[in-house]
Structure 1
Amino acid sequence: MNTIDMKNLGLTEAMLQEAKQYKHLYIGRISSQSKNLYKVITENGELIAEISGKFHHSVNDITDYPSVGDFVMIDRIDHTDGNGIIHHVLTRKSVFGRKVAGSTTNKQIVATNIDIVFICMSLNNDFNLRRLERYLSIAWDSGATPVIVLTKADLCQEIEQKLSEIYAIAIGVDVLVTTSISDTGHHPITNYLSPGRTVAFIGSSGVGKSTLINRLLGQHVLVTNEIRNDDKGRHTTTRRELLLLPNLGVVIDTPGMRELGIISADLAKSFADIDELASQCRFSDCMHQTEPSCAVQKAIQDGILSIERLESYRKLQKETKYDGLNAKMIEKEKLNNMFSTMGGMKNARKFLKEQHNKKGRNK
C-alpha cells in the first residue's frame, strides 16, 4: 500500500505539535461530507468516518463541526474495522465562510486551511465587479490569499478593458487569464501550486472551476456542465470536495455561489483605496456625503473613484457591522439604529416600556 505524505496534504508543524496531546489517535484530513458522514484522508488512504457522541455534545456552534479541509484526530487510519470516529478538529489556519441563506448571524463554512483562494469569474456573462468586491472582502478575511482567475478568455473581445476595470478594484491581488480550449490555457494557475499548499476554487456556477481542476489533475475527475454563451446550463458540482494533486498539494472544488452572504469581511484590504482617501478627509468621522473637504467625494468628481464602488463599500459595511457581536449586542445595535434620530437607546427603552404597558392593559 502506498503511504500518503501528510505534509503534501497540507499538514503543518504547528498541527503536528497540537496533535501530540491526543494520545492513541491519528491525523486525517476531511475531503468531503455527506450529511453526517465524512470522507477522511489518512496516511493509509481514504475512509468513511463520523463524529463521536462526546464531540457532538461538546459543540457550541455549527461552525465547530468538521468541514472540508479540516485536519482531525481520528481513531483509525483505514476502513478494515468499519467507520472511523472523529474526536477532535485541529486549530484552523484559515476559514472561508459565508452567511447562511435566510439568516442574519449564522455562518456556513465553505472550506478551511486554505492557502490560496482562486476567485473564478468568466469573461462573458458572469463578469460582475460588485460581486468580485464581495468575494475579495471575504477571501482577505479568511486568512488565505486571494487570486483572481478569469475564465473563458476565448469568448471575450474586450480583455484589456475588463482587466483595467479589475485592476482598479483589486488592489494588491494577482489576476490570471485562462481558457479551456487549449491544453495550456490553465498554465498560469500552476505557478501557485506546490507541495503542502492548499488551493480552493470559488465562484459562480458554470464559470469553469471544475474544468480547470480537471486540467490540473490531468484527467476528467469532476463532471462539468458549463455556462454557454447564452448563460444557460450550470456546473453540476453540488458539494465541496478536496482532491490530491501529485506532489503539488491539494485542491478544493466548491459548489457555485452566485449569491455570497457576508458574516465577516476585511474591507480594509479589499477597499484599501477608499480607506486611503478617507484618511485625507478634513473630518475623521466623515460620512463621505456632503461634508466639506471630503477626499472621497473629490475623487469621485475627479473620476478617480466610481460612485458604484463607493456604494458597494457602504453596502458591505452595513452587512458586516454586526460582526463579532452576540445576539444581545446585535439586538441593542439594531435598536440604536432604529431610534438613532430620536435619542438612541434611551428612547428605545421608553418605546419598549410603553409597548409592554400597552399589552398589559389589553389583557
Structure 2
Amino acid sequence: MNQLENYGVGQRFINEATLYPNYALARVISQHKGMYRIITEEGQRFAEISGKFSYELTHLSQYPAVGDFVMVSLGNANSPSIIHAVLTRKSIFERTALGLTGQTQVIATNIDIVFICMSLNQNYNLSRLERYLSIAWDSGAKPIILLTKSDLCQHIPTVLAEIERVALGCDVIVTSSFNESTVKRLYDFLKKGVTASFIGSSGVGKSTLINLLAGKQIFATSEIDQYDKGRHTTTGREMLLLPNGAIVIDTPGMRELGVSHADVGKTFADIEELVQKCKFSDCTHTNEPGCAVQQALLNGDLDERRLQNYYKLKREAKYEGLSSKEIETTKLNEMFREVGGMKKAKHHIKSLKKSNHHY
C-alpha cells in the first residue's frame, strides 16, 4: 500500500511531482535541527537537504517544514534520503525569524483545518480570538473555533452570541474533557487524509484534546537507530496520524506567530465594509462628517473594543519584523503624516528655529 495516501497526498501534489521524474515524492512529518523524518510510498525515512538545494535557497522560508511535500532521492536504507525540492504549498503558517530582519520561518504547511482553541475561563478573550482568526485566514487553512473547558462556564449562550459577531462564517465547537461525546464533534471535520492543527495559548487544553483523539500513541518512544536514540525525533513540530486516518500537526511554535502574516481584512470584514462607505477616502474615522465607522459606533452596530483591536492588529502588522529604529521611524512618520512626514516636519522645525533666532 502507498503509505503517502495515509498522510494526505492529493492529486495536485502527485501531478506536480511529475515535474521531477528522477526523484520520489515524500512528505515531511517531523523536523529536528537539520534532520527531517519523511514518509514515502514505502514508509518512514530520515532525510536531509542536498547541498545544491541549500545553496540555491535565498530565504529561510524556502527550507522544508513539517507538512511539506518534497522530492527526494531515497538512497539505501542505511543512509538518509536527500531532499532536492519543496512542492508548492497550499497553506502556510509562518512567523518572523528571530534575529533575522526581513526573514520569516515556516512553522507548518499544507494544513487544511486549524482549530483555534480558547478555554472558557480566564483565557476567554475576544481580542485574542480575532488575532488568531487573522492569522488562520491568512494561512489558507479553514479556521474552526474550539471552545474548551465548557464545564467552567455558566453563560455559554452569551459567549456563543459574542463569538458569532466576531467570527464571521466560522464553525464553533464547544467541548469539555469531562464529556468525551463533545470531543467527538471534531470528527465531523477530522476525516481521513485531512491535515489539521491546533493553535491557542498554553493551558487551554490542546494536549488533552490531542490525547483524547490519538490515545497514548502520541507519547510513544520511537525505535532506536543511528539517527534516533530512542527519544522523540523532534522537540517541537511533528505530524501525528490519528486512528481514524486524520492527521494532526503538533506545532508548539504556532502560539508565537506574529500578525505580519495575518488577514486583518477578512477577520474584520464588517469594519472594512464600513470604511468603504465613508464619505472621504482618506477618512481617519475620528470626527469627519459622513464617517460610516463613527456612525456604526453611535448606532451600536460596532463595538469600540473590536474597532480598537482592528487598529491594534493593523499597527502590529505594519511593525512586525522591523528593528526598533525602523519602528520608531515608522511611528514618527505616522505622527507627522499630516505635514508630509517626519523629514518635512524636521525641516519645518529647523525653519522655525532659524526664524526665532533672527528675532
Amino acid corresponding to residue 42 of structure 1 in structure 2 = T
In the other structure, the counterpart of 1:38 is: 36
Amino acid corresponding to residue 123 of structure 1 in structure 2 = L
Other structure's SS at 1:263 match: helix
In the other structure, the counterpart of 1:84 is: 81
Amino acid corresponding to residue 16 of structure 1 in structure 2 = I
In the other structure, the counterpart of 1:303 is: 300
In the other structure, the counterpart of 2:54 is: 56
Q: Deviations over 1:178-219 (max 9, x none)?
A: 111133231111100222221111111121112212222244
In 1, Cα distance between equivalents of 2:274 and 2:139? 25
In 2, Cα distance between equivalents of 1:26 and 1:330? 45
Other structure's SS at 2:107 match: strand
In the other structure, the counterpart of 1:271 is: 268
Is contact 1:153-1:179 (8 Å) kept? Answer: yes
Q: CA deviation at 1:221?
A: 1.7
Q: 1:278/1:31 Cα in 2 relative to 1: closer, same or farther (>3 Å)?
A: same
Q: Deviations over 1:291-330 (max 9, x none)?
A: 11222112222222111111111111122247999xxx99
In the other structure, the counterpart of 1:141 is: 138
Is residue 347 from structure 1 mapped to residue 344 from structure 2 by the alignment?
yes
Q: 1:177/1:102 Cα in 2 relative to 1: closer, same or farther (>3 Å)?
A: farther
- The alignment-based identity, stated in percent, is 54
In the other structure, the counterpart of 2:121 is: 124
In 1, Cα distance between equivalents of 2:149 and 2:260? 30
Q: 1:292/1:51 Cα in 2 relative to 1: closer, same or farther (>3 Å)?
A: same
In 1, Cα distance between equivalents of 2:253 and 2:152? 20
In the other structure, the counterpart of 1:288 is: 285
In 1, Cα distance between equivalents of 2:167 and 2:146? 12
In 2, Cα distance between equivalents of 1:131 and 1:106? 25
In 2, Cα distance between equivalents of 1:175 and 1:90? 32
In the other structure, the counterpart of 2:183 is: 186
Within 5 Å, which residues of 2 pair with 1:1-363?
Answer: 3-76=1-74, 80-100=77-97, 105-222=102-219, 239-255=236-252, 259-321=256-318, 336-337=333-334, 340-344=337-341, 347=344
User: Cα RMSD over matched residues?
Assistant: 2.9
| TM-score (normalised: structure 1) | 0.82
Q: CA deviation at 1:108?
A: 2.4
Q: Deviations over 1:255-281 (max 9, x none)?
A: 165554222221221001111222322
Q: 1:247/1:73 Cα in 2 relative to 1: closer, same or farther (>3 Å)?
A: farther
In structure 1, runs of 5+ residues without a counterpart are: 224-236, 352-363
Q: CA deviation at 1:340?
A: 2.7
Other structure's SS at 2:4 match: coil
Q: 1:176/1:215 Cα in 2 relative to 1: closer, same or farther (>3 Å)?
A: same
Q: 1:258/1:55 Cα in 2 relative to 1: closer, same or farther (>3 Å)?
A: closer
In 2, Cα distance between equivalents of 1:222 and 1:180? 19
Amino acid corresponding to residue 53 of structure 2 in structure 1 = F
Is contact 1:203-1:256 (8 Å) kept? Answer: no
In the other structure, the counterpart of 1:361 is: none
Q: 1:94/1:103 Cα in 2 relative to 1: closer, same or farther (>3 Å)?
A: same
| TM-score (normalised: structure 2) | 0.83
In 1, Cα distance between equivalents of 2:98 and 2:82? 30
Q: 1:93/1:211 Cα in 2 relative to 1: closer, same or farther (>3 Å)?
A: same
In 2, Cα distance between equivalents of 1:143 and 1:129? 22
Q: Deviations over 1:103-159 (max 9, x none)?
A: 664322221001111111111122111111111011111111110111111122222
Task: Count the aligned residue pairs.
Answer: 332
Q: CA deviation at 1:343?
A: 2.8
Amino acid corresponding to residue 35 of structure 1 in structure 2 = K
In the other structure, the counterpart of 2:231 is: none
